[in-house]
Structure 1
Amino acid sequence: MKHKSAFDRRTFLKTLMGAAALSVAGQACAVEGRSWDDAFDVRVSAGGEQVASNQPVLSLATVAYTEMAIATYSNIVSQGGWGLVPTQQGPLQTGVKHPAVTALRERLFVSGDLARGVGVSQVFDSYVEGAVRRFQARHGLPVDGQVGDVTYRALNVSADMRLNQLHKNLERLNKVVAKTADEKRFVMVNVPSAQIEAVEKVMVVQRHTAVVGKIDRQTPILDSKIHEIILNPFWTVPKSIIRKDIIPLMRKEPNYLTDNNIHLFNNRGQEVLPQSVDWNTDEAVGLMFRQDPGKINAMSSTKINFHNRHAVYMHDTPQQGLFNNLMRFDSSGCIRVHNVRDLNLWILQNTAGWDRMSMEKVIYSRKNTPIAVKDPVPLHFVYISAWSTDDGVVQFRDDIYHMDGAPELAFGDIAR
């Protein structure tokens, strides 16, 4: 494995050869079979390099590499940035010959996704596909090697805006990394990337896809410690969900609560029948809604608790298909965790009596089981939408909560 010093400032001397993209006419894309000028080479070009890293987003090394990225992008801006890639009807993809591909190559040259040695051509060949895949991976997009609507949108964010985004996120990084300096292990939830990192000894040991809060029900930024895991949890429904979701549902589907094993209780702990509630009013908001443990429980197998004033938590979900979505901003503020049982075991590694077999046995029993974590694990919910974890690998994500100052950086709507 190739190792590089995070503090090697020689990178600041590097520059990328920038040039304005060619202005091209908006012609219809034409598939040319195999009669293109450039050889169709199945080897992976420089643009196909891996961009994943086991370096934590919250680390001094990431701060240093992000500073290097700012120097590189400052140089790109000083040389005029990059030109627009003209949008076409239908995606640009392997086998297409079109003038827009020339502009695409130039755009990918400037950002370092495509090596200049592969030449200039109107043909979308394997080198361009590899470069597009690298670009998509760096931007948290589906890595399909095709330039469709969302990839066009990301390509055509200006270099000035990306540089400003890096500056804003470096400020955030510096603040939160200082908090993790003495933590031997911690969990990070990065909201814009909807991703979780379990970090131990300055290395990412687990990554989990997440679902985070909607734009109108945002996941808060916070620091806490995970002190409890509940297997087969009861779900007490937040009042915001009762008001915004369940009351309207009950007006349309009177059996919704019964079908989903949700019971109502008054302030004396007495169960209330759904039929006795006037669902055309807000009367139900004064009741407690509690869902029994089980497969259809909103938290499924697990609830991960940590003290916070926002009443949010991390949890499993029966809706596993949500983790396949590009835009995973669908919760009411809490965090849904893919493969949560792996994270459970990592959190409980110093809590006696818990291994995979014992955990699975309890989950199978459907018995509500709270587990106190022997050594509470630090937890950080952060908003980092631009960073770098390696020389030349600069990561960007959709500014879903509009914190980076430019509407062009938030394009979640087009991706839905």
Structure 2
Amino acid sequence: MNTSRRHFLTVASAFAGTALAAPAFAQDILGDVFSSTRRGSWGDQFDARAAGGEEVMSNIPIYSAETLMYTQAAIGQYQNIVAQGGWGQVPSGKKLQLGSVDGDVEALRRRLMISGDLSQRAGMSPAFDTYVDAALKRFQRRHGLPADGVTGKYTYAAMNVSAQVRLGQLQTNLNRLNERMGAYQTPRYVMVNIPAAQIEAVENGRVVSRHTAVVGKIDRQTPIIDSAINEVIVNPYWNAPESIVRKDIIPLMRKNPNYLRDNNIRILAGDGSEIDPMTIDWSTEDAAKLRFRQDPGKINAMASVKINFPNSHATYMHDTPQQSLFNNLMRFDSSGCVRVQNVRDLVTWLLRDTQGWNRQRFEDTIRSGQNTPVQLAVPVPVHFSYVSAWSTGDGVSHFRDDIYALDGSQELQLSQAL
């Protein structure tokens, strides 16, 4: 029996007891929620861990035997929640936060208890206390939302997706995990999770680093890809795809004839000679047949580095001069390629086995401003995937916006519904 098979069976056996206990677990939660007495005092003694505020992040990769088993267990949990009537809608018209006292807090408590974010020991009360605060932050982390403990519009939208729909989302994504699990058996790989807009660098079955990403817009979607990273270009030139020339550059040149010059973009003919933008009729789209290349530099669309891998979509990963985009909640803003936060850390890890390319040389090369392609001595597999629901812990289910409407329910496209 190989190591992967043994590991899978070990995890599976650990969940045998969990699966059997799931119905009682759900019944206990629902029974306690609806029969609990109101909290009579702010001084009740139990710690924040009882409120479900523990850390929900994990170093378990999304594509792993453990995640597969945890997700199967989560489906059992949600099946029982649905069987018990699910959860009710939480009134979404108010901004609730620590210190609020409002009747709607009771509906919020019930919702958080049923999903396992708040212990039933917290009881019912109109007071938004520290236990509700910790539970709401836990809920927000599980849904990829800023854990600020405030009930904003995206938090309400995620909270008011029905238990039945969440169950369906878990089942859909369990199938995705099963279908592509075989591609993730290498010791090192990079996984781009499109709906989460996040990247995992995985080594020996554990996530060694995660990176916030910006992925494709709805009308310029990031594709599903299985390939291997074979090249890193330090201080890259940026060659604008024809689609961007048509949709972006030509309209911008019509408004501002100096746009190309201001952005260090040159137009090159087939023989490599440079073409004067003033000689082109920008009222037509004839320019889309030409090559537009941006010089390396701080305003280059890829900033310091480009990460290449063979694929039929002309897709790649890269740095960006627009670092503020990583702070956006909905990071679906690219033309299909993937922007990577803290990309220098990822590149250092990718180049680890390439002789002579330590962090110091990498940084020195960036400062030189010289276009420098580097071939990886050992290509690193890369996988672009679409996983919008999964579980990496007992009772910890993660959900993300179904940005490309692949999960079968409009209710899951939170960014489009608001």
What TM-score, normalized by structure 1, do the two folds share? 0.93
Does 1:159 find its partner at 2:163? Answer: yes
SS at match of 1:343: helix
Distance of 2:248 and 2:221 partners within structure 1: 16
Amino acid at match of 2:176: R
State the shift of 1:414 in Å. 5.8
**Cα pair 1:6 1:62 within 8 Å, conserved:** no
Aligned to 1:33: none
2:223 maps to a residue whose letter is P
The one-character-per-residue Cα deviations of 1:237-257 (angstroms, maximum 9, x if unpaired) are: 001100001111111111110
- More divergent stretch after superposition (230-239 vs 90-99): 90-99
- Over the residues paired in the alignment, what is the CA RMSD in angstroms? 1.9
Is the CA contact 1:54–1:205 (under 8 Å) kept in the aligned structure 2? yes
Whether 1:131 and 2:135 are equivalent positions in the alignment is yes
Partner Cα distance (1:43, 1:299) in 2: 47
Q: Which amino acid aligns with 1:286?
A: K
Corresponding residue for 2:18?
11
Is the Cα contact below 8 Å between 1:21 and 1:82 reproduced in 2?
no
| Aligned residue-pair number | 398
* Consecutive unaligned residues in structure 2, runs of 5 or more: 1-9, 35-39
How much has 1:19 moved relative to structure 2?
6.3
Query: What's the CA shift string for 1:61-99, capped at 9, x where partnerless?
Result: 1001000000110010111111111122x4111111111
Superposition map of 1:14-163 within 5 A: 14=22, 15-16=25-26, 17-18=29-30, 37-39=41-43, 43-45=47-49, 46-88=51-93, 90-163=94-167
Q: Does 1:206 align with 2:209?
A: yes
Structure 2 CA distance, aligned partners of 1:249 and 1:19? 61
Q: Tell me the alpha carbon deviations over residues 109-150 of structure 1, each in whole angstroms, 9 at most, x when there is no partner.
A: 100000001111111111001100000000000100011111
Query: Does residue 1:354 correspond to 2:357, yes or no?
Result: yes
Query: Which residue is equivalent to 2:3?
Result: none
> How far, CA to CA, are the matches of 2:43 and 2:149 in structure 1?
18
1:272 maps to 2:279: no
SS at match of 2:308: strand
Q: Which moved more, 1:282-291 or 1:404-413?
A: 404-413
Q: Kindly indicate whether the alpha-carbon contact (under 8 Å) linking 2:296 and 2:303 is maintained by their aligned counterparts in 1.
A: yes
- Secondary structure at the aligned position of 2:11 is classed as coil
Match of 1:338 among 328, 337, 341: 341
Aligned counterpart for 2:412 among listed residues 404, 409, 415: 409
Tell me how far 1:325 sits from its aligned partner.
0.5
C-alpha distance in 1 between matches for 2:417 and 2:323: 23
CA contact (8 A) 2:189 2:202 kept: yes
Distance in structure 2 (CA, Å) of the matches to 1:167 and 1:179:
20
Cα distance change on mapping 1:41 and 1:414 into 2, 3 Å:
farther
Is there any run of 5+ residues in structure 1 with no aligned partner, and where? 23-35
Paired-residue identity, %: 56
- Per-residue displacement from partner, 1:17-36 (whole Å, max 9, x unpaired)? 226999xxxxxxxxxxxxx9
| Correspondent of 1:387 among 375, 385, 390 | 390
TM-score (normalizing by structure 2): 0.92
Partner of 2:5: none
Matched residue type, 1:58: Y
Offset, 1:178: 1.5
Q: Is the 8 A contact 2:32 2:120 kept in 1?
A: no
- What letter matches 1:60 in structure 2? A
Answer whether contact 1:91 1:146 (CA < 8 A) is retained: yes
Match of 1:177 in 2: 181
Residues 33 and 123 of structure 2 are in contact (CA less than 8 Å); yes or no, is this contact kept in structure 1?
no
SS where residue 30 of structure 2 aligns? Answer: coil
Aligned equivalents of 1:305 and 1:152: distance in 2? 39
Q: Which amino acid aligns with 1:11?
A: T
1:188-228 CA-partner distances (Å, limit 9, x unpaired):
00000000000000000011000000011000011000000
Question: Which of the two has greater helix per residue?
Answer: 2
Q: CA, structure 1 residues 228+40, in 2 after alignment: closer, same or farther (shift >3 Å)?
A: farther
Q: 1:372 to 1:109 in 2, by over 3 A?
A: same
Distance 1:362 1:267 in 2: 29
On the 8 A contact 2:213/2:339 being kept in 1, the answer is yes
C-alpha contact 1:237 1:289 (8 A) present in aligned 2: yes
CA distance in 2, matches of 1:256, 1:413: 32
Q: Distance in 2 between matches of 1:366 and 1:174?
A: 44
Q: Does 1:196 align with 2:196?
A: no
SS of 1:207 mapped into structure 2: strand
| C-alpha displacement of 1:356 | 1.1
Q: CA 1:87–1:263 in structure 2 vs 1: closer, same or farther (change >3 Å)?
A: same
- Asked if residue 397 in structure 1 is aligned to residue 404 in structure 2, the reply is no
Structure 2 counterpart SS, 1:176: helix
**Counterpart Cα distance in 2 of 1:245 and 1:80:** 50
Tell me whether 1:227 sits opposite 2:230 in the alignment. Answer: yes
After superposition, the Cα gap between the structure-2 partners of 1:41 and 1:150, relative to the gap in structure 1 and judged at 3 Å, is: farther
Residue 191 of structure 2 aligns with an amino acid whose one-letter code is M
Moved more, 230-239 or 266-275: 266-275
CA contact (8 A) 1:211 1:337 kept: yes
In structure 2, how many angstroms separate the alpha carbons of the residues matched to 1:188 and 1:41? Answer: 43
- What is the CA–CA distance in structure 1 between the aligned matches of 2:188 and 2:69, rounded to whole Å? 21
Distance 1:248 1:40, change over 3 A: farther
Q: Tell me how far apart the structure 2 counterparts of residues 234 and 74 of structure 1 sit (CA, whole Å).
A: 52
Please identify, of 91-100 and 163-172, the stretch whose mean Cα deviation from structure 2 is larger: 91-100
Given that residues 218 and 332 in structure 2 are in contact (C-alpha distance below 8 angstroms), is that contact kept between their aligned partners in structure 1? yes
